[in-house]
Amino acid sequence: MQQTDELTETVEGVDTGTPSSADDDGDVGRLGGRFSAKALLVSLVAVAAGVGVGGMIPLVGGITSLVGVAAATFLLGVLGRSWYLETGLAGGAVVGVNFALSLLTSVALPIGVDFFQQYGLAFSGVGVVVGVALALAGHYFGRDLHDGLTRDI
Q: pLDDT (tens digit, 0 to 9) for every residue of the chain, 153 residues total? A: 455 444 444 445 444 444 444 444 445 555 566 788 888 999 999 999 999 998 888 777 788 999 999 999 999 999 978 889 999 999 999 999 888 887 776 655 666 667 777 777 787 888 899 999 999 999 999 999 999 888 887
Q: Where are the domains of the chain?
A: 1-33, 35-150
CA gap 56, 50 in Å, rounded? 10
Give me the helices (H) in the chain, please.
Answer: 37-54, 61-78, 84-104, 109-150
State the chain's mean pLDDT as an integer. 78
